[in-house]
Chains A and B, each alone.
Chain A
Amino acid sequence: MRRHFTIRLGSAVHFPIDLRPALVLAVLSILLCIGMLYALQLGSTALSMNDVIRWLLPWQDADAETSAIMLLRWPRVTVAILAGAMIATSGYLLQVVSRNGLADPGLLGISQGGMAAVVIGAALFGLSPAWLAFASLAGGFATALFVMALAWRLSSATGLILVGLAVGIALSAAIEIIMVRGGILQFARWLAWSHGSLTSVSVGNAGMVALWAAVLLPLSLIASGQMMPLLLGHEQAAGIGASPRRLSLLLTMMAAALVAPIVAAVGPISFLGLIAGHIARTLVGERPGAVMPVAMLCGALILLIADTVGRTLFLPVIVPAGILVSIAGVLAFLIAARLSRSSR
């Protein structure tokens, strides 16, 4: 089978396209579309697929009932897809920068930094929701810089993760001190948020997340073309003329920016970045230009499925998506690691 397919425009312009990533991308996109249709259709009030499709098509008039239900569902589905893509991107960026497949914004303390800033901003200074994303961005930046600075001179690859873990623990304790003041109901809600939950997503949230995604996701796709040298390690990258320090600082900042709006809207979703990155690398290999879009789609698909399953399968109980991702994700990761070891 040919590995490449070349689009020729005239005699001078050729676009070589790798077949395998293209195929994977196409399959994932189709899965995502199907998942989105089902996510819109399923819920405590079941709709018929016909109504959903009529609502989606702009030239058809949907009935009022469907529109009312959709007003509740579409922000949630949108946020699930975008948040999944952004967290996966952030995780993959961190994995490239730290050259460690276990990096994840939740494990490196970046999400916790954002959370701490959000909690302090909301509880102590009464910030309005519109500013929470920026507070989260500031917190995430500060934590990322702190962790990177501490781990800068450590040679061990696991070192960065452990430093991030410790910073995350200290930050969560600080958050906890503020959050236990309101009784068990607020505590339970906070617990749900601290694992990531899409229950309280509104149209405003969806708009905010979409705005950040519209800027940052294309930027990361562009950046993925420049990331290849980083995989070689700093000396080699510098040797072939890249500027690894500046690039990795830039990419870390971008990773922090990608999770900031998500932390403000739905809370951190640990392990999603780790899992999506792993799946993407298993599917298409190591080339960042190919891995990045695949990781985005994987993340979006995982979070969409987790959220849809969480709110439909155990009715009337609604399981926060973050919890499903953590439990299923950790278990799946362990099983996958086990299988890949025994197959070697």
Chain B
Amino acid sequence: MKAGLGLVLVAMAFFLLCCLHLSAGARFSAPSLVFDALFDHDPRNYQHVVVIKQRLTRLVVAGYAGAVLAVSGLLLQKILRNDLVSPSTLGINSGAVAFVVFGIYLFGLTGAALFWPALLGGFAAVAVAFLAAGLVSKGGRDPLSLILGGAMTATLFSSATTFAISLDPDLFGNLMGWLVGDIGNFDYQPLAWLWPIGLAGIGFAFFLCRQIDLLTLGTEQAATLGADPRLVRAGTLALAIPLAISAVCVVGPIGFVGLVAPHITRLLIGETGRPALAFCTLCGAVIVIAADIAARTLLAPQLLQVGTVMALCGGIAFLVIVVATLRRRAA
């Protein structure tokens, strides 16, 4: 598929899903009502308030989280040249959650201050995952062992999280949705000061796109073509981790967008170039918005957690990708 056509298609899908997201819910709102709520807002009309305060805010949060996680996943997959890595399979999500939970328990941190423990947790998780992978593969560079290292990291940190929660369950009563990954009605508040991180991160990703593409050719090739592999790799890691963390701080550990969106991108228009990056950004947003619609309507009026819906679909997608990768290697 041509990159331009792909971009147009995914943009259309994005737009359609946005409209669907605003009108779908426990009670369906007609498109005309949504239109009125957006452009001719009446603060005393309850349905207008629902559309703006409960659906538009969720839409923005879902779109942001999806876009940021997808870009983070694409960057990680490109620089590590391993199409099984993503923020969740490397354990970044679990690491961030563990550090946040301990930050709350030990120091009583709230709000904006939680970004820093989360960031620290993300970097710690990546370090542990690399260490574990190196030990599991005994110095070899098997891409599968990085995933195994990530899984061990995730188990380690989620055990720590469970331990902290079992110390004082009541303290974390309000956080249950966040712990499994969910979009709540007040999630736009942390987003209000976190969005610059996401914007700057995606901007840098576009800026560095050429260098990162060179790295996908392999370290030697990239060095011959004038990129400094170490610098680019470190810079991209320093970009991808805060991007993922900024999403985790808002919605909690929503996994697998970062794994699936780059795969869709690669399947449809290839992974190199800025159009692919733009495609991946929109694709991630589309996936999380779709998951949010599913979470709100499947068992309406009960809400499901977006994180669990994503984990279920994403786990199955991960299985398919793993089996496909292994078949290709075996063949």
Which A residues are within 8 Å of any B CB, using their own CB?
Answer: 102, 107, 150-151, 153-156, 158-159, 161-163, 165-167, 169-174, 176-177, 180, 183-185, 187-188, 191-192, 194-195, 270-271, 317, 319-320, 322-323, 326-327, 330-331, 333-334, 337-338, 341
Cα A130 to Cα B38 with chains together (Å): 57
Choose among A173, A317, A322 the residue that contacts B315 (Cβ–Cβ < 8 A): A173
Interface pairs A-B: 5 shortest CB-CB: A170-B315, A173-B311, A166-B319, A337-B135, A188-B169
Indicate whether A163 sits within 8 Å of B319 (C-beta atoms), given known contacts A156-B144, A173-B311, A176-B311: yes
Q: State whether A320 touches B173 (Cβ < 8 A).
A: no
Rounded to whole angstroms, the CA-CA distance of A185 and B173 in the bound complex is 8
Q: Is the CB of A166 within 8 A of B176?
A: no
Residue from the list B170, B314, B330 in contact with A155, Cβ < 8 A: B330
User: What would 21 A/B residue contacts be, using CB atoms closer than 8 Å?
Assistant: A155-B330, A156-B144, A158-B144, A158-B145, A161-B148, A162-B148, A167-B319, A170-B315, A172-B311, A173-B315, A183-B173, A184-B169, A184-B172, A187-B169, A191-B165, A270-B155, A317-B166, A317-B167, A322-B159, A327-B156, A341-B139
> Do B170 and A184 have beta carbons less than 8 Å apart?
yes
Contact A337 B330 (CB under 8 A): no
B interface with A by C-beta (< 8 Å): 84, 131-132, 135-136, 138-139, 142, 144-145, 147-148, 151-152, 155-156, 158-163, 165-167, 169-170, 172-173, 175-176, 179-180, 304-305, 308-309, 311-312, 314-316, 318-319, 322-323, 326-327, 329-330
Residues of B contacting A331 in the complex (Cβ-Cβ under 8 angstroms): 156
Bound together, the chains give a CA A327 to CA B154 distance in angstroms of: 11
Which residue of chain B has its CB nearest to the CB of A176?
B308
Are B311 and A163 interface neighbours, CB within 8 A?
no
Q: Once the chains are docked, how many angstroms separate the CA of A271 from the CA of B148?
A: 13
Partner of B308, one of A165, A177, A337: A177
Q: Are B159 and A326 in contact (CB under 8 A)?
A: yes
CB proximity of A105 to chain B, nearest CB, Å: 14
Measured CB to CB, the closest approach of chain A to B135, in angstroms, equals 4
**Known contacts A170-B316, A271-B155, A177 near B304 by CB under 8 Å:** yes
Tally of A-B Cβ pairs under 8 angstroms: 141
Instruction: Out of B131, B151, B166, name the residue touching A188 (CB < 8 Å).
Output: B166
What's the Cα separation between A290 and B131 when bound, in Å? Answer: 32
If A161-B148, A177-B309 are given as contacts, then 18 extra A-B residue pairs at C-beta distance below 8 Å, sorted by A number, are A159-B322, A165-B148, A166-B318, A166-B319, A166-B322, A172-B311, A176-B308, A180-B176, A183-B176, A187-B169, A188-B165, A192-B166, A195-B159, A319-B163, A326-B156, A326-B159, A330-B155, A333-B152
Bound Cα distance A148, B145 (Å): 20
Complex-state Cα separation, A36 to B314, whole angstroms: 44
A271 to B154, CA, bound (A): 13
What's the least CB distance linking B154 to chain A, in Å?
A: 9
Q: Are A180 and B318 in contact (CB under 8 A)?
A: no
In contact, A159 and B155 (Cβ under 8 angstroms): no
- Residue on A nearest B320 in the bound complex, by CB: A166
* B142 neighbours in A (Cβ, 8 Å): 158
| Nearest CB in chain B to that of A146: its residue | B319
Closest to B175 in A: A184
| Candidates B84, B311, B330; contact of A156 at CB < 8 Å | B330
The answer to whether A327 and B160 touch across the interface, beta carbons within 8 angstroms, is yes
CA distance A269 to B136 in the complex (A): 20
Query: Contact between A326 and B155 (Cβ–Cβ < 8 Å)?
Result: yes
Q: Is B308 touching A323 in the complex (CB atoms < 8 A)?
A: no
Beta-carbon nearest neighbor of A167 in chain B? B319
Q: How far is the CB of B253 from chain A (nearest CB, A)?
A: 11
Using CB atoms, name the residue of chain B closest to A156.
Answer: B326
- The residue of chain A having its C-beta at the shortest distance from the C-beta of B163 within the complex is A323
Residue of B nearest to A197 (CB): B166
Asked if B131 and A334 make an inter-chain contact with CB atoms under 8 angstroms apart, the answer reads yes
Q: Contacts A102-B148, A173-B312, A177-B312: A156 and B329 contacting too (C-beta < 8 A)?
A: yes
CB distance from A12 to the nearest CB of B (A): 48
- Whether B155 contacts A163 by the Cβ 8 Å rule is no
Are A334 and B315 in contact, CB atoms less than 8 angstroms apart? no
Which residues on A sit within 8 Å (CB–CB) of B166? 188, 191-192, 317, 319-320, 323
* A162 touching B152 in the complex, CB below 8 Å, given contacts A176-B180, A195-B162: no
Determine if A185 and B169 form an interchain contact, defined as CB atoms under 8 angstroms apart: yes
Per the bound structure, the CA–CA distance linking A161 and B327 in Å amounts to 15
Residues from chain A with a CB closer than 8 A to the CB of B169 are: 184-185, 187-188
CB atoms of B319 and A170 under 8 A apart: yes
CB distance from A273 to the nearest CB of B (A): 13
Cβ of A337 and Cβ of B176 under 8 Å apart? no
The smallest beta-carbon distance between B6 and chain A, in angstroms, is 27
Query: Is A154 touching B136 in the complex (CB atoms < 8 A)?
Result: no
Q: Is the CB of B163 within 8 A of A162?
A: no
Contacts of A183 in B (CB 8 A): 173, 176
The reply to whether B136 and A102 contact each other, CB–CB distance below 8 Å, is: yes
Residues of chain B contacted by A333 (CB below 8 angstroms)? 152
Residue contact B151 to A165, C-beta cutoff 8 Å: yes
